[in-house]
A and B are shown apart, each in its own frame.
Chain A
Amino acid sequence: MRRRAFAMAAVLALGLTTVAAGVRPAPEIGKPAPAFTLPDSRGAKHSLAQYQGKWVVLEWLNYGCPYVQKHYRSGNIPGQQEKWRAKGVVWLAIASSAPGEQGHYEAAKMNVESQKKGSKASAVLLDPAGTVGRLYDAKVTPHMFVIDPKGTVVYMGGIDNVPTPRDRDLERATQLVDAALEEGMAGKAISTPTSRPYGCNVKYR
């Protein structure tokens, strides 16, 4: 009895502090994606709410990370960005590297980098405090989330299923974000809703 009372008190306390801090739990498949608002590298603000009714892809980004570099220099990620934006998908790359850490750039430098890397993302969002990264429990770059038009998380994990930094491994990889968008936009159930998020640590503060 006593233990149960204690557990209830603990849950209650946790609930209260969570509410007080305005923090929502980490994303889960089939649950609403946590709301956020961030500025992009060109000064515009983006909130998840404004993209209600559209498919949204979140991509955690660090141009210094060898795994990210693999997918950019091979054209894998820019190719997908271009393909899906043409079909109305909003593709947001989010940089959560803290100032002084690998992958952090001031807005102007970020634009230069993005152009160099051939990024075709809708926008590159700046999250130097790591708030949104932690909100999504983003562990690595690239860590991917696919959100449906109702704002529900339908896919989270890696960009594909071969977790290496080697370009040549792309040949044998299945592109999971691609597959999730394909199935989701066709109104089908997503066959692989989670996979191992692989890559470099997000360089949080």
Chain B
Amino acid sequence: MGRRGHQAGRGAQATESTEMRRSASHQLKRTTGDRSGRPGMATPVALLVVLAAMVGAGRVAGSDSGPLLSAQEDTTPHSEARLVSDVASIRAGVPFTVGFHVTLDEGWHTYWQNAGDAGNGLIAEWRLPGGFVADSFAYPIPERIPYPPLVNYGYNDEVVFLATITPPPDLGAGGSVRLTLLADFLVCEKICIPAQAERSLELPVRDAPPLPSGDSVLIRRFADRLPVANAQWGTRAARTDGGFVLDVAPPEGWEGSLGGAYFFPADPVLLDHVADQPVGRTEAGAYRVRLTESAYLPGEPQRIEGVLVLPDGAAFNAAGRRGLIVSAAVASANIAWAAEPDEPVAAAGMAVGVAAGNGATANGAGGVSLLVAVLFALAGGVILNLMPCVFPILSLKALGFASRGGDRAGMRRDGLAFAAGVVVTFLAVAGLLMAVRTSGAQVGWGYQLQSPAVVAALAALMFVIGLILAGLFEVGVSLTRLGGLGGSGEGSAFLTGVLATVVATPCTAPFMGAAVGAALIRPPVQGLVVFGALGVGMAVPYMALSFWPALSRRLPRPGRWMETFKQVLAFPMFAVAIWLVWVFGLQTGIGGAARLLLGLLMLAFAGWVIGRWPATVISTRNRLATRALALGAVIVALAAGVAAIRGETPLPAGGDVAAVEWETWSAAAVEEHRSAGRAVFVDFTAAWCISCQVNERVALEAASVRRVFAERDVALLKADWTRRDPAITSALASFGRSGVPLYVYYPADPSAEPIVLPALLTPNIVLETLEKESST
């Protein structure tokens, strides 16, 4: 806001401005009504606009003996205004966009169409050559500007009001046309000053497609802030005691939350501008915004009209639009919502067609049907078995089957218990995820490994399992048989399923992109079905193994080889532990990793104590002593772990996995490069995502790919999701994804749609994508 910074000087400023106002009013009185033909106003287009005071005074100074404003006042205006166009020349019959660009001093603002509790929007009047038609100005999404006890709606810093102008079809080429705008607007800090600007724009007329002007980037930037009409978003409104509810149903495939959304009413006497607008969810899964009526409501409104604006970083569609045009009929409160179809959002005249504007609707990636999502989930579940982070656990499972030998009933029970463990865990994780999502947090699949505490715990678990497999010590029946290690029984099989699932989650994202994305935005029951299918898919090979003896006969017989096999399996466990320590190190720094390793050492010591003096062969006294020692070691290990997590340090920008030429991703960076005419390649990645690392090594860092990237001057951006980052989460959501990896290529042509690459990359896939673009 910057208002605070003005506090100190406010008294003086107010006085000065009041003085200015006084002379302004004096002048205004004299000049009101003769706005045309002003001799002193042949000023260049880009001159400062000032307050009415200065316009008036300047005019008078050139004509008669009116009071002159001092030079000091003349050089301290609070705003500038320009008339800009997105084209350098125009052509008969081809519409183009013009913008009224207002730049404001820090702490000053101007208003939206509904200014809120005080103030006024833009009043504009065109002077156009014959046959030219101008649409009314469209307002970019405003900010809420609180000024207790009032609230205004407007713009700080700068704004471009946009209008489309259509030249007549019979306009002759060769000459040029002059477009003139007379604009009245308010410039406000704590006090408000009416500003008047007469601005002209001279544009050549050519018989050629209009080329973008230097201001086209500015216009594009503000066109992207215009609210969009999108019939995929269902909106409806109902009367409540003292206000209204506005229900907003996202389209299928949309991910994100309306938490923090704010509804700007078009009508200044519809709502209380000061009141909070709590956002909730309805039972049907729509978002419900609670609105408080204005004390000045003139009657019963028929419609709720305005713009719903999402907080920074969230978007209504893949193009990143934050404002949604709402026009919903007001129903009486007793109507049963669920029975009727969504009412489409009316396309009000607020959306301006900008030549380069990308009005893409919600991305289709997540819009798969439930059946397709379930099939994807099943297939994805089966593939999960082959993922490196699941493999060691499942190897153990195979070991468990082997130990069962010919006990077919036992194997079947085992298989079912394992399946149950997998499915239940998937459901539990999904339930948790949905609960968190509902509460508004930006969470994506794979989030478990974004928490250092979970990483540390998993590292310790993997390490201890490795120690057990390696034979350092054995766990008694009384201890939990996590992972079914060397044991048997349904309980242990169930726990194997649980463990396998927890470890598998980070691997699901690459294969499950669309299905998981779809599951998370579906109504809870459907989402759970998809997740359940994922679990079933993962358990299928083991159930098959346990049910069909023909398959199980292929399993080796139990024997001494098992011990060897078990010990060999310790190494993948340690490998996983090393990977987890590495991830932890990325999250907490080298000191954190060292503390975690110290903790692991203490766990190893505790394991050694237990293995050296097994409970069954020592006296009670010794047992107490050794177990106390082991417990002590575990406590030290825990303390080390906690210290490691506490010592968490921020990631260096971009993470250390980023090669030198990769810039840190931001939506703004993408926009910047694209508007500079560069193609952009975005690598959405995370340290804990193995597929991401593989893709980077194999494809993105391949010499052939790097060469082509360099040749085509592709801007390379890396979005590192190792730690939770809401901006990245919502960017993923805009592509219908909730996890990494995701590779997106934005062609150099700014109007072209971004291309999403497959989750498994080869150099050829990347090269072909780049090739395809240049050939079109």
- Give the B-binding residues of A (Cβ under 8 A): 26, 28, 64-66, 69, 73, 100-102, 134, 137, 139-140, 156-157, 163-168, 192, 194-204
Contact = CB atoms under 8 A, between A and B. Distances in A.
A195 B295 CA distance: 10
A178 to B, nearest CB: 18
B149 interface: yes
B342 interface: no
Given A65-B192, A69-B21, A102-B191, 11 more contacts: A66-B21, A66-B24, A101-B190, A102-B14, A140-B117, A164-B184, A194-B297, A195-B269, A195-B296, A200-B118, A203-B191
Given A102-B18, A194-B297, A163 B120 contact: yes
A198 B184 CA distance: 16
Given A200-B191, A201-B147, A204-B149, A64 B18 contact: yes
A100 B29 CA distance: 27
B32 interface: yes
Nearest to A137: B295
Contacts of A26: 295
Nearest to A29: B295
Contact of B150 (A65, A100, A166, A201): A201
11 contacts: A64-B18, A69-B21, A100-B10, A101-B190, A139-B150, A167-B29, A167-B32, A195-B296, A201-B152, A201-B190, A204-B149
A201 B193 CA distance: 12
A139 B118 contact: yes
Contact of B32 (A28, A139, A168, A201): A168
Chain A to chain B: the 7 pairs with minimum beta-carbon distance, closest first: A201-B118, A64-B18, A194-B296, A100-B11, A139-B117, A196-B269, A140-B118
Interface of B: 10-11, 14, 17-18, 21, 24-25, 28-29, 32-33, 117-120, 123, 147-150, 152, 184, 186, 188, 190-194, 268-269, 295-298
A165 B191 contact: no
Contacts of B123: 164, 166
A106 to B, nearest CB: 14
Which of A139, A140, A157, A197 has the most chain B CB within a 10 Å cutoff?
A: A139
A140 B149 CA distance: 11
Contacts of B120: 163-165, 198
Contacts of A140: 117-118
A129 to B, nearest CB: 14
The dominant DSSP class at the A interface is loop
B278 to A, nearest CB: 15
A98 to B, nearest CB: 10
Contacts of A197: 296
Contacts of B33: 168
Nearest to A158: B296
Nearest to A199: B118
Contact of A198 (B118, B150, B194): B118
Contacts of B269: 194-196
Contacts of A203: 190-191
Nearest to B190: A203
A101 B11 CA distance: 7
A66 B29 contact: no
Nearest to B51: A66
A165 B111 CA distance: 14
Nearest to A166: B184
Contacts of A100: 10-11, 14
Contacts of B150: 139, 201-202
A119 to B, nearest CB: 15
Interface centre among A64, A134, A137 (most CB of B within 10 A): A64
A165 B190 contact: no
A57 to B, nearest CB: 17
A73 B29 contact: yes
Contacts of A157: 296
A134 B149 contact: yes
A56 B186 CA distance: 32
A104 to B, nearest CB: 9
B316 to A, nearest CB: 29
Contact of B194 (A137, A156, A165): A165
B65 to A, nearest CB: 20
B532 to A, nearest CB: 33
Nearest to B33: A168
Given A69-B25, A163-B120, A167-B32, A201 B192 contact: yes
Contacts of A195: 269, 296, 298
Contact of B296 (A134, A164, A196): A196
A169 to B, nearest CB: 9
A42 to B, nearest CB: 23
Interface centre among A65, A69, A156, A168 (most CB of B within 10 A): A69
Nearest to A201: B118
A64 B24 CA distance: 11
Contacts of A198: 118, 120, 268
A66 B194 contact: yes
A157 B117 CA distance: 11
Given A73-B25, A139-B150, A196-B268, A102 B190 contact: yes
A195 B267 CA distance: 12
A137 B118 CA distance: 13
A137 B10 CA distance: 24
Contacts of B17: 64, 102
B191 A64 contact: yes
Contacts of A156: 295-296
A73 B27 CA distance: 11
A203 B194 CA distance: 17
Contacts of A164: 120, 123, 184
A153 to B, nearest CB: 11
Nearest to B35: A168
Nearest to A156: B296
A196 to B, nearest CB: 5
A192 B296 CA distance: 11
Contacts of A69: 21, 25
